[in-house]
Every structure is written in C-alpha cells, then in structure tokens.
Amino acid sequence: MLKFARTRFKRGATDAEREKLKQELFTFKKTVEHGFPHRPSAVAFDPEMKLLAIGTRSGLIKIYGQPGVEFSARHSVESQIIRLFFLPNEGRLISLLDDNSLHLWEVNIKDGKSVLEEVKDFSLEGRLKKISVCCLPSTQEHLFLGTEGGNIYLLDVKTFQLLDHIIYQDVVMQNVPDDYKANPGAVEAIAEHPTDSNKLLIGYNRGLIVLWDNKSCNAEQTYVAPQVPPQLESLAWHRSGDQFMSAHADGSYCIWNSADASKPAQNATIPYGPFPCKAINKIQWLTTKSEPFIAFSGGMPRASYGDRHCVTVMQGKTHVVFDFTSRVVDFFTIGDTDRECEWDDPHTLVVLAEEELVLMDLQSEGWPTFRMPYLSSLHSSAITCSAVQTNVPDQLWDKIVAAGDAQMAANHTSREWPIDGGSVLSETPTSKDLLLTGHEDGSVRFWDVSTPALRLLYKLDTKAYFSTHDDSEVVAAADTGEEDWPPFRKVGTFDPYSDDPRLGVQKIMLCPWSGTLVLAGTAGQVVLMDMNTEEAEVDLEVTTVNIVNDRDGFVWKGHDSLTPRSTTVKVPAGFQAKHLVQCTPPASVTALANHSENQLLAIGTSHGFSIFDYVQKKVILTKCTLNPNDLSATGESSMSRRKSLKKSLRESIRRLRKRGSRSTPSKKEAKPRVEAVPTTDLDAPEKGEEAAAPVQRLVEARQPDGDMASMVRCLVFAETFLREGASAGLSLWAGTNSGGIFVYSVTMPEADKREEEDVVAELGKEVQLKHRAPVVALSVMDGSSVPLPDPMDVKHERADAPNMSGSHTVVIASEEQFKVFTLPRLKEKTKYKLTAKEGVRVRKVGFTQYRSRSDEKVVEQHLSVVTNVGDFLVFSVPQLRRQVQHSCMRKEDINGITSTIFTRDGEAFFLLSPSELQRCTLSARVAVEPLCMLELPEGARPAPPPEPEPEPEAAAEAEGEGEKAEEEKPASVPETLPSVPAIVVETSPPNPVEDETEEVAAAAEEVAATEKPESEHEAEGVLADIQKTLENTSILDSTADESKDSVGDITLDEIKDYIASKEGPDENSADKPAVEEDADN
Amino acid sequence: MSGKSKSLARVKSGVVEVKSKFDAEYRRWALDKTTIEKFDDFYQLVERRHHLADIPFTLCYTDPHGDLLPINNDENFVKAMSTAAPVVRLIVQRKGEDQGEFNGYGTLNKSKKFGLPGPLSAQKPKPRLQISQPQDFRRVSAIIDVDIVPETYRRVKLHKHGSDKPLGFYIRDGTSVRVTPHGLEKVPGIFISRLVPGGLAESTGLLAVNDEVLEVNGIEVFGKSLDQVTDMMVANSHNLIITVKPANQRNNAVRKGSLSTSVGSGHSAGSSTDDKRELLNEKGARESSYSNDAYHNDETLEEEESDEEEDIIRDVVVTKTNGSVPSSEQDGEQEEQEEENEAEEDQTNSKTDQDSAVYTL
C-alpha cells in the first residue's frame, strides 16, 4: 500500500509538468491541402485582385492568388457548388449551391492572417424558382437569378435579400409574336449589355432571346430566328454592344445585330459540321486590336469526337482545339481589366477541367501553357507510393531544379503566372523539402513542399528503360495520324491510363548526399539511379536475383518481369539509371533499404529478401521467407489475393442488391413509427441487413501460414550490437508479414579492398513474435534512445553521431503491438498491446522527433502512428506511453490511411482524394501552412445601409489591425448568425430520404417558430418529451431495436414526427409520414 | 530435533530424500531439487528407478498431515518437494488402480471409512469403466471471476492452446437497452450472432447466440465498432476472456447474498451497468498501483489486467503438457529465464535458420 502511495505521489507531481511539456511538443493541425481540388464544379476569377476561386461538388471553396496565397472554406452543407462570383475588388465571393441557396463569403483578417468566412446566406424555395443561371452585372449591386420557371429575380448583394422587383416572363413575353408564345422555357443565359448597364440580354431555353431594359421594364427587342431555333446554351456580347453571339445545343452559333431583331446578322455556323455536333456550352467573344477571339467549349462532331473534352479558340486563321483528358467544367479568359479600354485583349485562357486546371498563354506564339506553381494534378497517373525528404542539401536541390527547368522549358510559356493576388506573410523556408511521388505509369515526380504551394520540380520516367508492348502501337498511331480537322492539341498532364501496370513504382529511396535514387516497381524491378547534369546514353546493366533459389517446388503464377531495352537509351540530364536489379519471381517489391555509405541495397518481396552490393554489382544474400511446407499456396498469392478481392466485391454487391430488394416491400407494410423515421446513411445498411444477412464477423485466431505470410514488410540497415561483447557492426533487419524478424550481420571488407573482397552477410538472430502480426516498422535506437541517424547525415554534420556507449534497443512495431527489446540480448523491455486493448491496428509508423516550440533544445523521440480507424497516435520510446491521440481520417478512407507518410519532424502527408495530398502536423513547432494576407483597397466594400456590420469593420481590419479585429469580431458574429434554438440549428442535416409532406414540415416550422422566443428552457422541455416518447416506443416496440438512434442525436425528422404525433388526434397519426412516404414512392 | 539436522541440511542443499513404493517394491533415493524442476523430468526419473518403462503409472505422496495427494504437474511437484520434509513418501500406482483418481484425494483413511470395501472388491472382476484420467483432459473453457462479475453477466475464458479447433463464433452489431440515469436508453451493442458447429465456443456451452458481448479481456467494448471488437478478440485469441450478458438468463450461477453484498457494498442499488462499472473500478483500485489522473488510471488498469493475463498465457505455454494453471509471478520469471536461455542458444546456433531458436514473445 505504501508503495502505491509513493508511486502515485511521484507521478502526480510529474504529470502536471509533463502535460505542460506536451503542450509545447505536440499539436494537431491540418495545415494545407496540396494538389488539385477533388471534383471541381465551378470557377471564378477576380480580375482586379487577381484571385482564382474553385468550388467543388462537396461544397469546398478554395481561393488562390500568388503562390503561397491560399484560402479555403467549406459550406456547412455538403452540396455541389454550381456557380461562383467574385465581387471584384471587394475580397468577397458569392456561391450558388445545388440546393438553390446562395452564400456570401468574405476574406477577412483574423489573428494576423486572412481567412475566408461565410457571412450571409439566402435560400430560394419553390420548384419553379430553381436557379438556372446567374449574372452579376458590372455595378455589383444585385445579382440576377434566372430560374427554371422563366422569371428573373434580383438579389440585393448588400442585404443579401431578394428585391421586390421581378422580371416576370409574362411581361418579357408581351411583345413576342404569337407564333413564339409557346412557353419559352427556363432562363438559360443572361448577359449584361457591355455599354449600357440597364440593358440585359435574356436567353430562354427554347431559343427566344430578348433585350430587356431593366430601367423602363420593357422588352426592347425580341430576337427570333427565321426557323425554329435549337435550344439556346450561351450568349456573348461583342464589346461594342452592337452585336452578340448565341450558342446552341446543336453545336452552332449565330451572330446577331442588336438593333435588328428580325434575323441573325450572320447565319448559324456549325464549326465542326456538317454532321450532328454536340452542344456548345459556353461561348466568349473577345476583341483585340487585330482580329477577335472566339472561344467556346464543346461543339464536337457527335459521332467521331463526341467523347472529347474540348475548348476551341479561334482568332482569324488560327484555330486550335484544346483537347483535355477530363470533362471541361468551365473556362474564362483573363484580359485587360481596364473598362475604358477599347479592346478586351485577352492574354490568358483558363480552363478548369475535372482533373486539372490549365492556363494557356494567348499572347505568346503558339499559345503555350503555363507551368503550374500550384494546383498541380498530383494524380496525372495514379499515385502508387510517396516519400518525403526534408532538408535536401542545396547541391542536389539545384541539380534537380535545373534538370526540371530544362525539361519544362520546352512547352511552357516564359510569362509570369497571371494569378498573383494577395501577399505571403510566411517567411521563406529555410529547409528545402522534397516530396517524391511514384506513379502507376512508372514515373516519379519531384515536388517542392517547402511552401504551401506544391510545385512540380522535375519528372522522371522509368518507362524509357523498358520495352513495353505498346512501343509498336505508338509508331502505328503516329503513322496513321489524326485528321487535320478539327485541329486538336492535347493539353494538360492528366493521363489516367497506364501503359503497363508492371511499371508502377512501389518504393522510392533517395539519398540526398550521394544523389542515389532507388526505385522499385510492381514487377520486381529495382532501378538504381544517379544524378547526372549531362545528357547521356545509358546501356543498362541487369542483375537478376533469384529469391526462391533454394525452393524447388515453387511455381510463380503471376505476371512476367519487364524486358529492359536492349539498345542504349538516350536520357536527358537528371537522374539516370546505372543498374537494374530484377527480382525473380517478379513479384512487387514490398520493402527497400539503401545504405548509401556502404553502397548496399536490400530488397524485399512477397517471397523473401536480398542484399545487393552495388560497388561490385553482386548479390550478397538471398533469403526466402516462404514456409517450406507451403510453397504452392504462396506462389499464387498475388493471384488468389486478386481473386478474393473480386469475390468480396461480388459479395458486397450482392448484399447491396439484397438490401435494395428488401427495403421496398418492407416499406409498404405500414411499419411502426420508429421504423418510418428515415435513418441516416450510416444506419441504413445495418437496418436492412439485420433481418436478412446481418453484418457479422468471424472471430478466429490468426492463421500462422495465412495469405502473404512470407511478405517482407520492412528492411532496415543499422550499425549496432548483435553479439555480446562484440563491437558494433552493420546489420540488416527484415520483418515479415507473419511477425518474423531476421537479423543479419553484414561484414564489410576493408575500405581499400572494397572492390575486391566480398561483403559477407550471416544470420545473427531470428525472432518470431508470438502474436504473428505483420511487422510494420522497426528501428534501432542508440544508447540515448534516439533512432540511429543516417550515416551520411552524420558524415555531413546534419545529425549527431549516435551514442554507441549505452545499450542499444530495437523498437518493433507490428500491426498489433509495439515492443522494445534491448540489444544484443533481445530482452523485452517494454511493450504496448494496441489491438488487444483498443481494437485498432497499426497501419503506418514514423520514427519522429518532436522539438519543443519554445525551447529548441528540448527534443524527444517518439513513435508516430496512424491506425486503421484513421487516428494519429504518438507513443514515447522506449516507455511506449501514449502522448497524444487525434482522429483525422474516416476509417473507410483506406487510401488516405495507407498513403500516410511521416517526416522526421512530425509532419504527415496523406491522400485526401486521388488528386490531393493533405499535409498535417503533429508537432507544435513544425508547420508549413498558408499564411497570407489579402489587402483590400480603401472602401472596397461598400458600407451597407441596413445592417451596420461587418463590412466596415472588415474593411478596417483589412488594413491590418489584427488586435482590433479580435476585439470586434465576437460582437459582430452573433448578429450575422440567426439565433435559433439549439435543436433547430443542430438538427438540420440534409437528409436524402426526406421527402416530407407539407403538413408535417409546416408543423415543424410552427413549433420551431414558437420555440424561438422561449430559448433553451423550452427546448430542453421538448427534448425531454421527445426522449420519453422515444424510449417508450423503443421499449414497447421490438422492431425498434434495430434503430441505433439514441437521444444523443435526434434528427430533425424525429422531432417532426414527434410533433406530428402530438398534434394528431390519435396515436396512429404517428404512422402518417411512413404511409405518405410510401405513396410518394 | 537434533536428529533431523542432517536431513534439514540436505533440504537446504537442495537434496531431498525420497522413499517410493510400487506394489511391494520400496526404494530409497536422493533427489537433487536443483536438477529436477519439472514434473515430467521427475516422472521419468521414477520410471527409471522402478523400471516402469511400459507401465503407465500415477504418483501420490503423503503430506505432513497424512493426506494422500497427487503429483501430476509442475506446481504440485514443487509443492511436494518443498513441504514433505524430511522424507518424501511417494506412492507409485498403476494407472487406474489409484482410488484417489476416482474418489478424490484426501486423507488416506477416507476410503476405509466411507468406501464400501466389500461390494467394491466384489465388483473388481467386472470390466472396469474406461474413464480417462484428469491429465488426459485439457481445459477448454472456464467461467471466471464469479465473485466480482454481476449475476446477470458471465465472464468466460476460452483456452485455445495449440488446438486446431477454431474459436468458432461470429459477432454482429445490435442494440441493447441499458438503464441510465435518464431512464432506459437504447445503445448499440455487440452480440454473438452465430456459433460454428464443432467450434470451441459451441463445445463449451458457455456462449450462445444473441449473448451480448460486454468486455474483451477486461476492456469494455462499449463505443467500439464491430471491426474493432473483432480485432480485439483476434488479438487476444490465444487467451480470450469475454464477458457476456447471456440472452438466456436462467442458467446463471446462483450466488450467496453475502458475496454480492461484500462486493457491491457501499453502492446504492444502481443499475446493472453502473454496478458493473463500479465493480471494475473497484477491481482497478485494488490492482492498479498509482495515479489518480483518469487517463493514466485507465491505462494502468488495463495494463495490469492484461499483464495478469499475459502471465497466464505464458503459463499455458510453459505447462502445455499438463494444462493446469499454476500461480503467476514465479512462472513469469521462469519464462523470461527461458527466453534468455533461448536467446543465448540462438546466438550459438544461428546459421541454419530452421534450427535456430525461435522464441515466443
């Protein structure tokens, strides 16, 4: 008892200090999203402030200025952004969402930097009021909202409320000849007259175009084509205002004189006719001193090129069809901002495609593209692996940059990036950080990640070294060529089609000092490369390593290895291959280690591992990890795995179907109340399956020789003590998928005999973890419990020499446990059983050092871990005590979890989407994040009369008074947000199933309205009631068990139901929603 | 007393005097406790002494109180050697002849007093019922902690050992009703959904479909997803302890009131959940050594509990052959000792990978 008391006291005292230190060491912050936003759906540009905004289908807005200037914000609802408008020069933005709501956003200064925040929103309701098109006139006073119903509403930008003034379709139609009196359809296009801001050109879906004078409320002209016109798609004014262009669904466009309503000035042209063409979605007519530009998207001949995603630009005789690999979302041009200027003078064409953004320089000869300083498509080919190298030495960095510049100079413009708004506040980074991404097509891209703007430095392609079977096809394609018309030009880098999946890069190792790059691929190929500043001809030497040499019965049933090119390959300056190691069987390389000081390479596959000496070009060791009794089974592993994937896919589809077919009849039999409550998506599968095929999991011990047991998961070179009494020596540690660890001691010959004498590797130790979980990572720690540094870093004084005096330890992280063993005796020191205690598994491990944010000298070594449920954990070593835990990803986000990589300093990268890399930091000290400012000109935002907030303040803040901003913000925020009782605010997630009857909805609103004044007391009362009802029903009702809803998160529907049941004359009224919902179905 | 000083000296030096009897054959011999530590070794020694190579036999000894007690595992072997000073009186019997095997061990006179010698001897010629010996059995499951687990719950331990038998059960998500301060509340829970015929779970009869799983090796599953619970069970599969709330409450162990009050005393009649939580905490307080910081407390509680389990696991490994559960710490050390031995061994014969020592960690 005394002992307990003592320990408790001791810990109590240190705990407080420890907690304080933890604050200094750790944090968790998602700092920046590198790459290209996933599934963009809208784009806008502020020509005054030079800002670009991209909206996505998930409701995310990202604003970019000059490299490093980046703001982003997300709508509170996950809904597609249809359109974005900048209020030029105001630092404000309006977004239109798919749910027919409009939101006003402002870039304001908070805590000394600019952030994007939502200020107001407005929602238009009613089916006929579905907004089909918006137009922001140059006055920026109000927004024209064209609707499906044909009326045009005006939204006052200042108050963000609708004006009473409505341009009714009937009024517009008054002067239309009777033949055209048929319903003209939705408003398809609104274009402001370029010289007279009172006049609007309104285009309706069925082809009717009207010039509307908004001042006199009169349709000035009604343009009607001689024939029945095809559906209208887009309208564009000529700068003069004398003429305009209309684009149509049949791929044609017409030019009209604004004064002559009877017929087009020029007959309809179908640029890619005469065969049927697809619609021209958007058209622009831009004047220059010489001939005008006409730019439009779509319009391709349906049969031959209907699948192309194109933007056509024509200027006089020059005619280019920019051909994109993904759907064109929108395009616009950047031109002269001066309104008084006689010409539009576009200099840049910006095209937003689904997977990339491309800027074309229209001023330079040949319209070359811009090199992207950010917003690069990370996923030009799918990312298969990534590696990060912080603090790259200048010498190598400069060489990479030079090689990259030479590479890019060829087809990029030299003009400055035209989107350069805002100013960067963060200091120029001192360390040069490199991110390497390996891709499915065998390429490796080198990215600069020292700043928030992810810039492509250099691209390396290993494809050149292998002869793939499409070589001949390429030649053939070149022979036949494409027809000259339309004049296509491929632009952009997004190319999801891999020539040969075997080329995929699986592991990357870069030694920043020697410039040695090792790339390992899907077909067991390992390419050793060196940095060379000169172009060279490479004749690739090949060494084959047979990993299953000693296993006779082994049969490989997977893919063949790649064939290296027999001829010499001419490669430009940059990384050039000098040796190829080909593993047999050619299974994917699963682990790689490079000891560049001793020039040794360790390669692991599903079957074993090998050490290769690249001085003597000799294989030193091969070790097969296959179970000798079970050769046949593992030989198939790659195949059987695929099979099982297919199988599981099939099963899940079946399950889905089953659920689908089940849910329909179950709804028809009027179910009790709780059942009728539409559940959230998450609950749905469970509910459906509970009765039929419940989701169940077999609890079974891990099979010792399960699938892929022999796979080598990690390889580590370490200079440490393997034998008692012996001095430290080089060793190789290999961990397998079944919890096996092999330790080889590697004896190097004398330095002067390195070329002649063999390197010797012999088995020193073998460990079998009893729990047999895959060994995810391991690291040897020196006498001061610091992971052994890279010897090259020590050599160049980037790292301290390891402490070889104290006793070394090895940290082994398996999927289920962490263990620390002392060396050389391998006695267990500490352990932590993560899975047994918490039911989560280790996915990725980083050995990281955390430096205190306040004191540079305080450094701690920790284990940073990401688990299969998407949490980040930090454990101290060797104590293995948990320091922090942060949940970060959803557990379903397998790509994100498995793609996670850690830097040495506690930063992490993971794939947010195929095209985006999320960067986050666990360290309180190290963070690369966009720190930027948007300076608004004096009085940029007009002070709105009705509400004396936040604009004037915002303008004041914009001048950089950070402190003042902090004081005033809290006061103004509550006013902007409607103060509604907690229940109502929190319980209105969009519910896809929800299709409530008017009655119930109205009832809900009524209650919500009555609740408003009474505030929380009332709300609580209602809550309690609801609880009671819920409980009653759930207890009485056996089927109710299936619903997971607890009182903790009542949905809006439940409240509505509750209200309905209260109001209804009898208890049965509770069934109403269910019944009516069925009727709907 | 002085006469015994000689043998006492022997005890100290680790040498024990043994007097063994097989049928009519008596032998006296000395045993060096330091060389023979395991029951198996001792058994072989006796086998050699009495030349019983092909005869299966059982071992008993008379303890200082005159009780006849069996020796059939490491633990009671060590016990016998340490208690039965100055002389260990060993009785070697052919397997099946030992009355104690059937009637239970105890005082020697017992069978004379309560047994029915007449009829028994009369029945002797009759073919004997073939009843397996205790050492031929292996424990597969147990209900444990009956004294601290609430009556409505059941804590079941499944011994996987090295058997090929699958654990053999499935779990699923479900909803259970709990009593909370706010009244009855529905909460998600984990349930046993299916038992594989012939599996360990089914064969024990202690788990049934629709039993709610509350804890896995002392860790509450509340708030964990189905996959997480599955992973926890798999990670603990070699020594799985699950606390369930049986769907069928009729077969609960009936406890005496005194027990439950002694455990649950001091707590007002709370709900079963609360009750259980309290119990856990109490247990934690008893076992965990430090820190009133909640986080650490949880951690240490878990740690301690699992360490305790770990010891058991080790025992299972060590005494695989006879399957009884000796007590903790000592064996843990022993195990570590073994690890070290193996480690050293490993260093010496390292090259041939198949032979090199593989330690179980």
What average pLDDT score do residues A1005-1025 get?
Answer: 47
Q: Per-residue pLDDT for A48 more than 90? A: no
For testing contact with chain B, the best of A6, A687, A699 (most B CBs within 10 A): A699
Structure tokens at A824: 């050389």
What average pLDDT score do residues B282-297 get?
Answer: 34
B346: nearest CB among A699, A765, A770: A765
Q: Which residues of B touch A770 (CB under 8 A)?
A: 238, 360-361
Q: In this prediction, what percent of chain A has a pLDDT beyond 90? A: 38
Going B257 to B263 to B268 to B271, the CA torsion angle's sign is negative
Cβ count near A119 (within 10 Å): 20
C-alpha distances out from residue A642 to A245, A637, A707, Å: 55, 8, 12
A699: nearest CB among B234, B238, B343: B234
Separation between Cα atoms, residue B295 and residue B298, nearest integer Å: 5
Q: Report the amino acid identity of residue A616.
A: Q
Separation between Cα atoms, residue A611 and residue A604, nearest integer Å: 9
CA angle A368, A369, A373 (to 5 degrees): 145
Task: Give the residue extent of every domain in chain A.
Answer: 13-33+840-936, 37-123, 379-416+423-469+482-546+571-589, 677-683+705-832, 983-1080
Q: Which of A287-301, A1018-1032, B261-275 has the highest mean pLDDT?
A: A287-301
pLDDT score at A327: 93
Query: Phi and psi (nearest 5°) for A662?
Result: -75, -40
Q: In this prediction, what percent of chain B has a pLDDT beyond 70? A: 52
The residue of chain B with its CA nearest to that of A840 is: B228
Q: Which of A34-48, A264-278, A1049-1063 has the least mean pLDDT?
A: A1049-1063
Q: In this prediction, what percent of chain B has a pLDDT beyond 90? A: 10
Across the beta sheet with A443-448, the strand order is A383-389, A434-439, A443-448, A455-461
pLDDT score at A705: 62
Q: Which residues of A touch B360 (CB under 8 A)?
A: 768, 770
DSSP class of residue A355? S
Instruction: Give yes or no for a cis peptide into A486 (omega within 30° of 0).
Output: yes
Q: Where are the beta strands (DSSP E) in A900-1056?
A: 901-902, 907-913, 916-923, 932-933
Compute the count of residue pairs across chains A and B with CB atoms less than 8 Å apart: 185
C-alpha distances out from residue A552 to A511, A898, A933, Å: 37, 35, 67
Separation between Cα atoms, residue A26 and residue A21, nearest integer Å: 9
Look up the ipTM and state it: 0.71
Q: In this prediction, what percent of chain A has a pLDDT beyond 70? A: 76
Q: Per-residue pLDDT for B215 more than 50? A: yes
pLDDT score at A239: 86
Q: Which residues of A touch B186 (CB under 8 A)?
A: 1031, 1034, 1040-1041, 1043-1046
pLDDT score at A653: 67
Helix ranges, A287-373 (H): 302-305
pLDDT score at B2: 44
Q: What is the Cα A280 distance to its own chain's centre?
A: 30
What average pLDDT score do residues B200-204 get?
Answer: 85
B169: nearest CB among A699, A828, A1046: A699
Q: Per-residue pLDDT for A1031 more than 80? A: no
Separation between Cα atoms, residue A120 and residue A106, nearest integer Å: 9
| Pairing state between β A907-913 and A916-923 | antiparallel
Confidence of residue A402 (pLDDT cuts 50, 70, 90): very high
Separation between Cα atoms, residue A725 and residue A257, nearest integer Å: 97
Q: A812 to chain B, minimum CA–CA distance in Å? A: 12
Mean pLDDT, chain B, whole residue set: 65
Rg (alpha carbons) of chain B, rounded to whole number: 25
pLDDT score at A548: 87
Q: Which carries the bigger pLDDT value, residue B358 or residue A919?
A: A919
Q: Report the amino acid identity of residue B223.
A: G
Which residues lie across from A1072 on neighbouring strands? none
Q: B191 to chain A, minimum CA–CA distance in Å? A: 9
Q: What contacts A778, CB < 8 A, 6 or more positions away? A: A714, A716, A733, A735, A741, A810, A811, A812, A813
Q: Which carries the bigger pLDDT value, residue B37 or residue A716?
A: A716
What average pLDDT score do residues A503-530 get?
Answer: 94
The residue of chain B with its CA nearest to that of A623 is: B353
Q: Which residues of B touch A868 (CB under 8 A)?
A: 231
C-alpha distances out from residue B96 to A126, A777, B58, B100, Å: 91, 55, 8, 10
Token pair 């030193």 in the structure block, residue: A620
B233: nearest CB among A699, A833, A868: A699
Q: Report the amino acid identity of residue A1041.
A: D
pLDDT tens-place string over residues A65-80: 999 899 899 999 899 9
| Pairing state between β A488-490 and A318-324 | parallel
The residue of chain A with its CA nearest to that of B229 is: A839
Separation between Cα atoms, residue A684 and residue A992, nearest integer Å: 12
| Pairing state between β A608-613 and A591-595 | unpaired
DSSP class of residue A95? E
Cβ atoms B73, B58 nearer than 8 A: no
Cβ atoms A912, A22 nearer than 8 A: no
Separation between Cα atoms, residue A106 and residue A116, nearest integer Å: 6
Structure tokens at A723: 């034998």
Q: Per-residue pLDDT for A671 more than 80? A: no
Q: Which of A29-43, A223-237, A420-434, A450-464 has the least mean pLDDT?
A: A223-237
Confidence of residue B37 (pLDDT cuts 50, 70, 90): confident
Cβ count near A996 (within 10 Å): 22
CA angle A519, A554, A711 (to 5 degrees): 45
| Pairing state between β A40-46 and B239-245 | unpaired
Mean pLDDT, chain A, whole residue set: 79
What average pLDDT score do residues A505-516 get?
Answer: 94
pLDDT score at B112: 42
Separation between Cα atoms, residue A785 and residue A808, nearest integer Å: 7
Cβ atoms A253, A268 nearer than 8 A: yes
Separation between Cα atoms, residue A262 and residue A225, nearest integer Å: 7
Q: Which residues of A touch B306 (CB under 8 A)?
A: 833, 836-837
Q: Per-residue pLDDT for B291 more than 50? A: no
pLDDT tens-place string over residues A154-195: 998 888 888 888 888 888 887 776 666 677 788 999 998 888
Q: Which of A627, A617, A626, A517 is nearest to A576 (CA)?
A: A517
Token pair 């001048």 in the structure block, residue: A959
Q: B273 to chain A, minimum CA–CA distance in Å? A: 17
pLDDT tens-place string over residues B302-344: 333 333 333 222 222 222 333 333 333 333 333 333 343 333 3
Q: Which of A714, A708, A732 is nearest to A722 (CA)?
A: A732
Q: Per-residue pLDDT for A4 more than 80? A: no
Q: Which carries the bigger pLDDT value, residue B270 or residue A706?
A: A706
Q: Per-residue pLDDT for A683 more than 80? A: no
Structure tokens at A289: 């001193």
Would you tell me the crossing angle of helices A1052-1063 and A1072-1080 to the nearest 10 degrees? 120
pLDDT tens-place string over residues A705-753: 666 788 999 999 999 998 888 888 999 999 999 889 999 999 999 988 9
Q: Per-residue pLDDT for A954 more than 60? A: no
DSSP class of residue A936? P
Q: Which residues of A touch B170 (CB under 8 A)?
A: 696-699
pLDDT tens-place string over residues B44-76: 888 888 888 888 888 888 887 777 888 888 888
Q: Per-residue pLDDT for A555 more than 60? A: yes
Q: Per-residue pLDDT for A638 more than 50? A: no
pLDDT score at A326: 92
Which residues lie across from A461 on neighbouring strands? A443
Separation between Cα atoms, residue A514 and residue A1034, nearest integer Å: 69
Structure tokens at A1041: 């068990």
**Overall residue count recorded for chain A in this entry:** 1081
Cβ atoms A837, B219 nearer than 8 A: yes
pLDDT tens-place string over residues A251-271: 989 898 888 877 788 888 889
pLDDT score at A53: 95
pLDDT score at A675: 34
The kind and range of the H/E element at A773 are: none
Q: Per-residue pLDDT for A811 more than 80? A: yes
Separation between Cα atoms, residue B176 and residue A87, nearest integer Å: 55
Q: Per-residue pLDDT for A641 more than 90? A: no
B184: nearest CB among A838, A881, A1035: A1035
What average pLDDT score do residues A578-601 get?
Answer: 93
Confidence of residue A667 (pLDDT cuts 50, 70, 90): very low
In this structure, the dihedral spanned by the alpha carbons of residues A990, A994, A998 and A1003, taken in order and rounded to 10 degrees, is: -70
Q: Where are the beta strands (DSSP E) in A690-841?
A: 696-699, 712-720, 729-736, 740-747, 760-768, 775-781, 809-814, 817-822, 828-833
Q: How many CA atoms lie within 13 A of A981 on its CB side?
A: 20
Token pair 């633990």 in the structure block, residue: B75
Q: A157 to chain B, minimum CA–CA distance in Å? A: 47
A827: nearest CB among B185, B340, B347: B340
pLDDT score at B101: 57
Q: Per-residue pLDDT for A1068 more than 80? A: no
pLDDT score at B103: 56
What average pLDDT score do residues A822-846 get?
Answer: 91
Q: Which carries the bigger pLDDT value, residue A211 or residue A677?
A: A211
Q: Which residues of A touch B302 (CB under 8 A)?
A: 837
Q: Which carries the bigger pLDDT value, residue A756 or residue A1001?
A: A756
Helix ranges, B50-156 (H): 74-83, 99-103, 110-114, 117-123
